[in-house]
Structures are given as C-alpha cells and as structure tokens.
Amino acid sequence: MEQFINDYIYKSDNPAISALILFAFYIVAAKIADLSIDKGFRRLTKMTTSEMDDKVIDFIHRPVFFTVVIIGCIHAVRILEASERFIFYSNGLLVSVLTFIWGLSVIRISNIVIENAVLKVTDLTGLGREVTPLVENIWKIIVIIAGATVILSVWKINITPLLASAGIAGAALAFAAKDTLSNFFGGISIFVDKPYKIGDYIVLDSKERGEVVRIGIRSTRIKTRDDVLITVPNAIISNTKIINESAPAPNFRVRVPVSVAYGSDIEKVEKLLNEIALSNENVLRGPEPRVRFRAFGESSLNFELLCWIKEPSLSGIAVHEINKAIYNKFNEAEITIPFPHRTVYLQSGPPS
C-alpha cells in the first residue's frame, strides 16, 4: 500500500486531487476491513454457543470502519500542505471524534461482558444482580476519564491542575462518604470471601438468625423465622462472626436433650430414641441418628438425641415433632420422665 501511495498519489501535481484520491483509497480499505470483520469473524462466532461474541462484533465493526476513514482524513490533510494551525485543529478534531467513537464502543462492549460475568457470579455466589449497574457505572466513569485525558492531551491542554483539583475533590468526597465506601468495600469482601449466599441460614454475632434473602452492594437482608426483615450494613457484617448453618452442606444437625428416671432401661431408651428419629420424615437416614448418654443428673439420667435434618429451616418443626413422639412413646413404654416435685409436711400443734 505504501508503494502504491508513493507511486500514484504523491506524484500528482495537485495536492487537493492527491488528497481526494488518498481519501477514496482509505474509504475502500475501511469498507474491506468492515466486511472482513462483519462477515469473516461472524462465521467463526457461529461455531460457539455464546451470543456475547456476536454482540461484540456488532459493536466493533463500525468503529473499525470509521477508524480507517479518520486515519485517511488525517493522512489526506497532511498532503494538502496546509498551515500548521489548520493541521493542529483538524487533527485534534479528528482524534477527538475517534476517541469518542471508541470510548462509546468500549462502554457498550464492557456492559455486555459485565452483565454476562455478573449473571454467572450471581448463580454461584448469590450476589444480588443489582450490582450490575454499579459496576457498569464505575467502568463508564473510568472510560470517560481516560477518553477525556486523551482528548485534552491531543489539544495540548495541561491536565496537571485538573488532576490536582480532582484529587482534592476526591479526598473530600471520600471523607464525606466514608460510611458508604466502607459498606461498598464490605460488599466486595463478602463477594470475594463468599461466607454465605442467598437462601443460606446464618446466625450473626448478635444472635440474629434467619435466611439470607438479598445481598446488596451496601447491605445484606435477613428474614427471621418470625418474618421480620433485618438489614445489616455490609461494613458491620464483614467484621463480625457469622455462623452459616447451610454450609458446607445444606444438612443441619439438631440436638434433643432427654432425661429419664434412675432405674430406667438405658438400652430400651436408646432403641426408642433411634426409632423415633428414623420415623420422622424430616430426619435424614444418613448420617444415622445417634443417642448419647451424657451425664448422671441430680434426679435423672441425661441423654441427647442427635440427628440430621434436610435443611436448617426445618429445625423448629423437627424438634417439635420429635419431642411429641418421645413423650407419647415413653408413656407407652412406661419410661418415666422425671420432673421436679416437692413434698410438703403439715404438722398440727397449738398456735404460737
């Protein structure tokens, strides 16, 4: 191409005609590049199952066309042998337009990539999908700042005072919004560490227990068994101890303390407790329920029934049903459940 330009364009006596011919040549080259990307690369993307690469091609082939055309304009202006002032302003205008085109394209492409990535992360971690606009806006600001920096540099505008002012304004804004920023970074730490996800049952250090229903970039919402919604700022929840009852497996073990009177048949007690646990539909067969003889009490033999249930949300109803079954079965088997009682002796005598 360079040889063609030197042989057939630069040798023309009229600079305007040379510039026009060169510009037409660049338009043809731009159209060829456009068709190569739109047709050639699209055939390759049809071999994939993802639609994201097709959308990327939709957003990129036009900017490539305009890039070649603008480069042709810059090249043609140089052939015109115009004044330095004209070349400076024309190049500044053309590069600014090119920066705007590619900045817009980068934002549109990044929005597709971010949305696709956040959807995948949401399915794995339970992170709220409302984080997508936040990430898109942050990336948009970064692209805009970078584009503005390029444009100002092309126009030879000193950006040092602007950077200093932006630093001071950023520091003031960060100080004013320190709580919001701490919640934001707390949300990022939750996203990275993944201590819980939506649907998990967690217990906070302050003893609140409930199901995680929403993980936002500012706060986490927990619904208790009383259908009370608790909103905890991420800055607090990222710095407190969290007990996740649903991890690493969704199964949950319940402990049911049982006391029987001295003289009871402990083998019979153990057998009955195992049968009661296995007869409950919420109790898992594996791991098997266990009965442990824990201690000799003051007036009772203390046992503990340990069994696994399907999920933490069933712990209340499971313990309720097991306790009912224990009371009924022990009555049928004539196993005494001791309870505190007091004997009062009345002594008759003369009034004092």
pLDDT in tens, 108-133: 888 888 777 766 665 554 555 556 66
Q: Give pLDDT, residue 306.
A: 93
Query: For residue 219, how far is the Cα from the chain centroid?
Result: 12
The token duo for 329 is 């079965």
Q: Give pLDDT, residue 9.
A: 52
Answer for the pair 92, 147: CB distance below 8 angstroms, yes or no: no
Question: Does residue 347 lie in a domain region?
Answer: no
Whether residues 46 and 123 fall in one domain: yes
Element spanning 222, H or E: strand 219-223
Q: Give pLDDT, residue 197.
A: 82
Residue 240, φ and ψ in degrees, nearest 5: -125, 160
Q: Which residues, given as ranges, of the chain have pLDDT below 70?
A: 1-13, 118-134, 162-181, 183, 349-352
Tell if the pTM clears 0.85, that is, is over it: no
What number of other Cβ atoms are within 10 A of residue 297's Cβ? Answer: 12
Q: Give pLDDT, residue 232.
A: 87
**Given 159, 185, 220, which residue is the final one in a domain?**
159
Q: Give pLDDT, residue 269.
A: 92
Say how many domains are in the chain. Answer: 3
Angle between helix axes 52-79 and 15-35 (nearest 10 degrees) is: 170
Whether residues 38 and 136 fall in one domain: yes
Amino acid at 283: V
Element spanning 309, H or E: strand 301-309
Which residues contact residue 71 at a Cβ distance below 8 angstroms, ignoring those fewer than 6 apart?
26
Cis peptide bond upstream of 248, omega within 30: yes
Domain extent, residue 290, equals 252-332
Whether residues 257 and 272 fall in one domain: yes
CATH label of the domain that carries residue 327: 3.30.70.100
Whether residues 142 and 206 fall in one domain: no
**Given 137, 159, 181, which residue is the final one in a domain?**
159
Whether residues 134 and 48 fall in one domain: yes
Answer for the pair 337, 330: CB distance below 8 angstroms, yes or no: yes
Whether residues 28 and 79 fall in one domain: yes
**Given 159, 189, 204, which residue is the final one in a domain?**
159
Cis peptide bond upstream of 287, omega within 30: yes
d(CA 127, CA 80): 58
